[in-house]
Structure 1
Amino acid sequence: MYPQIVIDINKYKQNIKYLVDRCTNRGVKVWIVTKSFCAYPDIVSHLVDCGIDGLADSRIQNLKKMKDIRVKKILLRIPMIDEAEDVVLWSDYSLNSEIDTIRALGEKAKKIGKRHRVIIMLDMGDLREGVWPDDIDDFIKEVLKVDGVEIKGFGTNLTCYGGVIPDENNLGRLTSIAQDMANKYSLDIEYISGGNSSSYYLLEDGRLPNGINNLRLGEVAILGRETAFGKKIDSLSDDTFILKAEIVEIKKKPSVPIGNIGMDAFGNKPHYEDRGIIKRAIVAIGRQDINPEGLTPLDKNIDILGASSDHTILDVTRSNINYKVGDVVEFKLDYGSLLKAMTSEYVNKVVI
């Protein structure tokens, strides 16, 4: 059934094994991020033998899916107090930046006879989550008063909100702060987590600061590119996940709508390039399931013209393929489009 995402599990595993090998040689442990494919069980079950140190996700619901998989599980999104009990039940580690939340985690952990491991997040300038470095000393003092939790590391997140590039300066400062806190308070630090796929270029360039011993890798493993500069990694596949959508209409029509142009279904006023009469194909998938701007047709002679909630419109005029209704068009996806497609219940998932 279409539309569908086809996951080549062998290519994906090869990507992960390459990354794990490169990282291990530099003393860095890898957490594979599963949120982009919603921890889909038929994918996750294949990953444990790839040498990874853990599986990381932003949603407790996804961590629950992995309860029977014997590997460390990490909650990436800083927890809600409301979900504290589930956090200690379903994750081995969680990333934290709020003392009230850590107190809630400690309380729930004590009730079930556990000690929950926390990674303290530092904001190194990207202005998403994290304790501001000037406040970290006081923050650690408060955490150490909480029963039921133990500090197992420090981490940061870069590029996801502010677009700040990881470099020797901000990650070097992270390691310095982590080591200072560990020494001052006799902390048993397991991880200094240097970020996500945007930090991977530093490892490839031999510039990852000493002390960084963990990376949380998602996009680079799936799409084969680091995310600081969008550079393709030559040894990695970029077609591990492929979207397939069926043509439901194909006709020659004008390239510019006829009539007064108002807002589209999403409140935007569209603009159109006049290409004359073109051969237009409609595939049965739309913005409810993907970001059309994040799709790249495997047929390089297809142009994506736009999309509504349920339809994506293609210009197939230049294609050497004589497309007809019922044919299937294949696309590579960027991270945002993959995330939407894997989350959508209307897109079938096929693991090969």
Structure 2
Amino acid sequence: MYMPVLEINLRKLEENARTEKALLASSGIEVMAVNKVFDGCVETAQAVFNGGITVIAESRTYNLKKIRETGCTTCLLRSPCLSEIEDVVRYADISLNSEPVVLRALSHEAQRQGKTHQVLLMVDMGDLREGIWFSEYQRILETITLIADLPALELYGLGTNFNCYGTVLPTVKNGEDFLALAARLEADSGIPVRRLSAGNCTSYHLLDKGIWPHGLNHLRIGGLHEFGIEYVDMKYLNEFHHSSKPVDKACSDMYILEAEIIELNSKRPYRLGNWASMPFCKVKPLSIMARADAHCWRLGARMCRRITVCRAMTLSLS
């Protein structure tokens, strides 16, 4: 039976990573490479590592286990579950956190394993992803103090998210608010905050415009080196390998998908007719459940793509 094949040009990926690191370093910004779109592919992680980015992030612990063989520093790009603390400490050097109960569990397990685990303390500046809400200053102060006090934990930095769950764009205003919060925390706690991790590749938009708030010195980036695209204005960046095809297709000549076409039709972008209830999406009375449903939708879509597209992968060094 014929299987679809995704071919990835590792040389171009490595060169994009090298370009990205140099571009951000020229503005005093450290970069953490996100590899999750490749689902823990060791070869892509190795290409990015060879390009000079030494910290690589994944959203699954079993993928962190795989990419450790590259020699990179690993980061779990989400808040850990209590049920996976042992694996988080074993396979992740860094993780994103905000909950005291999880921090205490990480501390206990890190002591048991004889390790020091680094924590990126997350603050929600409005996007509604993980983190303590920015106006709850006392909670943030207590949590950063807890990290400093707990044995076997070390503060990696202060982080936030933009244009992720809530599609809130990074701006000069929310960037400067994040800077002010960090400065106040340092003054009140006496704890140095060495990294201000100000989001993902959409935050590069401010740098591209020349309006980056000075002092934000860290980003967690995947799409920039994977596609060479600035995602807010949706344009290709000349320094990167990318495609000359329409930018709204977000494609790149680093990737070739070979597959049999089984149906080819042009259809309207919306459904026609009366709607039945949708699987995986029941109406919940509580807003907290709506977020869980949204994650189910994304997970379901990701699983479908993996089943139908990513059965095989060819890695090209050309």
Normalised by the length of structure 1, the TM-score is 0.71
The aligned runs of 1:1-352 (5 Å cut-off) are: 1-135=2-136, 136-236=140-240, 237=242, 238-248=252-262, 341=305, 347-352=311-316
- Matched pairs, number: 279
Q: Per-residue deviation at 1:254?
A: 12
Q: C-alpha distance in 2, partners of 1:28/1:164?
A: 21
Q: Decide whether the 8 Å contact of 2:14 with 2:51 is kept in 1.
A: yes
Distance apart, 1:157 and its partner CA: 0.8
Task: Verify the 8 A CA contact 1:127 1:161 in the aligned structure 2.
Answer: yes
Q: Deviations over 1:118-174 (max 9, x none)?
A: 010110011111111222223323434422212221010111111111011111111
Q: Which digits, 9 at most, give the CA deviation of each residue in 1:194-216, with x for residues without a partner?
A: 11011011122222211111111
What is the CA RMSD across the aligned residues, in angstroms? 2.9
Query: Which of 1 and 2 has higher RCO (CA within 8 Å, sep 6+)?
Result: 2
* TM-aligned CA distance change 1:339 to 1:73, over 3 Å: farther
Q: Assess, with a 3 A threshold, how the Cα gap between structure 1 residues 343 and 26 changes in structure 2: closer, same or farther.
A: farther
1:153, 1:178 within 8 Å by CA — same for their partners in 2?
A: no
After superposition, the Cα gap between the structure-2 partners of 1:72 and 1:181, relative to the gap in structure 1 and judged at 3 Å, is: same
Change (3 A) 1:198 1:67: same
Q: Tell me the amino acid that sits aligned with residue 311 of structure 2.
A: V
Give, as a single letter, the amino acid of the residue that structure 2 aligns with 1:126: D
Structure 1 residue runs of 4 or more that deviate by more than 3 Å after TM superposition: 141-145, 247-250, 253-256, 260-264, 336-346
Whose helix proportion is higher, 1 or 2?
A: 2
1:332 counterpart residue number: none
Secondary structure at 1:198 match in 2: helix
Unaligned ranges ≥5, structure 1: 268-335
Give the drift of 1:117: 0.9
Going from structure 1 to structure 2, the CA distance change for 1:344 and 1:119 (only over 3 Å counts) comes to farther
2:18 aligned counterpart, secondary structure: helix
What is the DSSP-based 3-state SS (H/G/I as helix, E as strand, rest coil) of the residue aligned with 2:220? strand
How far 1:20 sits from its partner (Å)? 1.1
Q: Distance in 1 between matches of 2:40 and 2:109?
A: 25
Is the 1:38–1:343 contact (alpha carbons within 8 Å) kept by the matching residues of 2? no
Contiguous gaps of at least 5 residues in structure 2: 243-251, 280-299
Distance between the aligned counterparts of 1:254 and 1:119, measured in 2? 46
Q: 1:139 to 1:246 in 2, by over 3 A?
A: same
The letter of the residue matching 1:217 is: I
Once the two structures are TM-superposed, the CA of residue 41 in structure 1 deviates from its matched residue by 1.5
- Report if the CA contact (8 A) 1:159-1:228 is conserved: no
Note if contact 1:222-1:241 (Cα within 8 Å) is conserved in structure 2: no
Question: After superposition, what is the alpha-carbon deviation per residue over 1:65-85, rounded to whole angstroms, capped at 9, x for unaligned?
Answer: 012222211111111111111
Q: Residues of 2 paired with 1:109 and 1:228: CA distance?
A: 39
Matches of 1:191 and 1:147, distance apart in 2: 21
TM-score by length of 2: 0.79
Q: As a proportion of its length, which structure holds more strand?
A: 1
Q: Give 1 or 2 for the bigger CA radius of gyration.
A: 1
Letter in 2 for 1:16: A
